[in-house]
Amino acid sequence: MQHALDHTMTALADPTRRAILQKLAKGEARVTALAAPFDMSLNAVSKHIKILERANLVRRRREGREHILSYNPKPLDAASSWIDKQRAAWSSRLDTLERLLAAEDEQKKGKKR
Amino acid sequence: MQHALDHTMTALADPTRRAILQKLAKGEARVTALAAPFDMSLNAVSKHIKILERANLVRRRREGREHILSYNPKPLDAASSWIDKQRAAWSSRLDTLERLLAAEDEQKKGKKR
DNA sequence: TATTTACTCAACCTTTTAGTTGAATATTAC
DNA sequence: GTAATATTCAACTAAAAGGTTGAGTAAATA
């Protein structure tokens, strides 16, 4: 693991972390506030946040004893871009196939004439 | 882990698996052919393929002793959609002054406690 | 029929995830 | 100053990921 995409995708692979991200997309929040809805210890959530920070999806700012977390959507660009490229590659291949088949059809028609 | 997104994102989190997917997007391939470029055992690649199959990104078809793998882009729709929703949520938040002010209010309330 | 080829399965090892509890640290509040 | 709050750090457990080697199965080939 070294590529940024590895960290981004790994971060997105867990439902707790995706839920945290969704909350943060709506605004900053403290660790305790984020952890409250989850049926797990504060420490567990703290670890999830660390993985989100490693992926650069979450930024931390200290205000006294509170750690205020904010959302950084930048890494999602690369993730989204990679996925969409895959989908594009697939459909372009399909297009090629369709074109080949269409050309074949044209040939058959030609032969019949 | 139960949600389909978990499997999809987990599958995409590894560079070897992303490379396999990229190859398969260009056309079907056998296990051995896929494994050839990688500096790891055939067995290791076989395991990666299993994770891709679990995520439903790869389909397997047997032809004699050969296992022919093909690419299924469907699960990428949900992944891409989730990510893009996150990005959209972010920008709509930036556009909405009311939400920023509401978030500020929430912070003040938090401090008073 | 014997061998090579194309794979998987099983067992094992190591590292990372995912969670726990308990203690430490630093602020804020009483 | 002491206590409560907000949070991490450290140590531990269990399971999953990522890899290895060795053995098994099934089909093609000599």
d(CA A38, CA B106): 20
- In chain C, which nucleotides are within 7 Å of a protein Cβ? 5-11, 16-22, 26-29
A94 interfacial to chain B (CB closer than 8 Å): no
Does the pLDDT of residue B108 top 50, yes or no?
no
B103 interfacial to chain A (CB closer than 8 Å): yes
Q: Is B27's CB within 8 Å of A93's CB?
A: yes
Does the pLDDT of residue A102 top 50, yes or no?
yes
In CATH, what class is B4-73? mainly alpha
Q: Which residue of chain B is at minimal alpha-carbon distance from A20?
A: B86
- In chain D, which nucleotides are within 7 Å of a protein Cβ? 5-11, 16-22, 26-28
Residue A8: closest CA among A52, A39, A42, A45: A52
Strand partners, B29: B69
B56: left (phi over 0), alpha (psi -120 to 50) or beta: left
Residues forming CATH 1.10.10.10 domain(s) in chain B: 4-73
* pLDDT tens digits for range B33-81: 999 999 999 999 999 999 999 999 999 999 999 999 999 999 999 999 9
Does the pLDDT of residue A28 top 60, yes or no?
yes
pLDDT value for B100: 55
The side-by-side arrangement of strands in the sheet containing A66-71 is A29-30, A66-71, A58-63
